Structure 1
Amino acid sequence: MVMGREIRQPSDVMFRHVKDTHESDLNPSDYVNGVRERMHKAHEVARKHLEAAARRSKDVYDARLSFHHYEVGDAVWLLHETRRVGVSAKLEKAYDGPFVVKAKVSAVNFVIQMDSRGSDKLIHHNKLKPYRGSNLSKWIVTVKNKT
């Protein structure tokens, strides 16, 4: 049913119930070897196409990826991920902040200072967005001036 045709079973070959005349003279071991070769070729073709599809998917993902290089002292927005029950996600704020990048742990991980008391949080770059405004809180200005 899956292939849209009747499948030959090993018993059909063993007992010569094969309907195709050119395969009715086959030795069962030759038939099995032939099927095995065709399956290996089909798997090779499928692997080749899967690798090509994976490369295309990666290229499309990388083209849409926005990667900002943040430095210590930069003001950033932090993605607001918590949602309140009963409130539409459209009506909630998308980002919190602004906050200050306090340290760069790696190319993609940053420590940001959340408030004037100095509470820190380790954040991945995909949850950050650069702050482009000019109205910064006093504590952010003082932290930026120290760096």
Structure 2
Amino acid sequence: MQIRTYLDNVHEFARENINNASDKQKWYYDYKVNFKPYSVGDAVWLHDPKRKVGISPKLQCNWDGPYLILNSISDLVYRIQKLESSKPRVVHYNRLKPYHGDFDNWLIKTVIQKDTESHATAMEENNIEFDIELSENEQCDMSNFQTDNIEYGRGHRVKRPPNRFVPD
């Protein structure tokens, strides 16, 4: 009888400690999480830590992308797709992070292409034709554009030579 009450007390004590630890971990996670929902057409990185044979796991890139958000299944689950021909994937918000930079947004191109095709068919149905011809004076001269000053890649600091090499 004493053993039974003792074990009940120990189990109750363990349950309370587990619940307290769980509540503390939930509070800390909620405190640190910053949830910014993605919208359709956003570019994101996907965390996909696949191991490649012959390369140290420490040196492998765990982020793949850019992927495009196709739609939102729920607040935390998204359907993404890397290329127009690839299979869509359903992933949780925790495996995504925003992609910053230039990318080929095939989703917008397909929407624009479908829109222009429907517009062209509507123009054909209404027998609307546009004949635009430019004279020689109206032609676009590309030689006026300067492309020598375009810098590609990351910015760099200004490098000055030492004073002994600079003429006085």
TM-score (norm 1): 0.63
Distance 1:103 1:84, change over 3 A: same
Return the alpha-carbon distance in structure 1 between the equivalents of residues 51 and 84 of structure 2. Answer: 25
Equivalent residue for 2:150?
Answer: none
1:122 partnered with 2:90: yes
Distance 1:140 1:92, change over 3 A: farther
Task: Indicate if the aligned counterparts of 2:49 and 2:61 stay in contact, CA closer than 8 A.
Answer: no
Distance 1:34 1:113, change over 3 A: closer
Q: What secondary structure, in the 3-state scheme, does the structure 2 residue paired with 1:37 have?
A: helix
1:136 partnered with 2:103: yes
Aligned amino acid, residue 99 of structure 2: Y
Return the alpha-carbon distance in structure 2 between the equivalents of residues 144 and 98 of structure 1. Answer: 19
Return the alpha-carbon distance in structure 2 between the equivalents of residues 52 and 130 of structure 1. Answer: 34
Return the alpha-carbon distance in structure 1 between the equivalents of residues 7 and 60 of structure 2. Answer: 54
Equivalent residue for 1:44?
Answer: 12
Structure 1 portions without partners, runs of 5+: 1-32
Task: Please give the per-residue CA displacement for 1:36-90, whole angstroms capped at 9, x wherever unaligned.
Answer: 3333333322322221122112223333444331111111111132211120122
Distance 1:95 1:145, change over 3 A: farther
Equivalent residue for 1:61?
Answer: 29
Task: Please give the per-residue CA displacement for 1:6-65, whole angstroms capped at 9, x wherever unaligned.
Answer: xxxxxxxxxxxxxxxxxxxxxxxxxxx344333333332232222112211222333344
Distance 1:35 1:81, change over 3 A: closer
1:1-147 → structure 2 map (5 Å cutoff): 33-117=1-85, 119-133=87-101, 135-139=102-106, 142=109
Distance 1:50 1:138, change over 3 A: closer
Where relative contact order (Cα < 8 A, 6+ residues apart) is larger, the structure is 1
Return the alpha-carbon distance in structure 2 between the equivalents of residues 89 and 143 of structure 1. Answer: 37
Q: What secondary structure, in the 3-state scheme, does the structure 2 residue paired with 1:44 have?
A: helix
Structure 2 portions without partners, runs of 5+: 114-168
Task: Please give the per-residue CA displacement for 1:71-129, whole angstroms capped at 9, x wherever unaligned.
Answer: 11111111132211120122222211111100111112111121033632212212111
Task: Indicate if the aligned counterparts of 1:74 and 1:144 stay in contact, CA closer than 8 A.
Answer: no
Give the share of equivalent positions with the same residue, in percent. 34
Return the alpha-carbon distance in structure 1 between the equivalents of residues 95 and 77 of structure 2. Answer: 10
Cα drift, residue 141 of structure 1: 5.2
Return the alpha-carbon distance in structure 1 between the equivalents of residues 105 and 25 of structure 2. Answer: 44
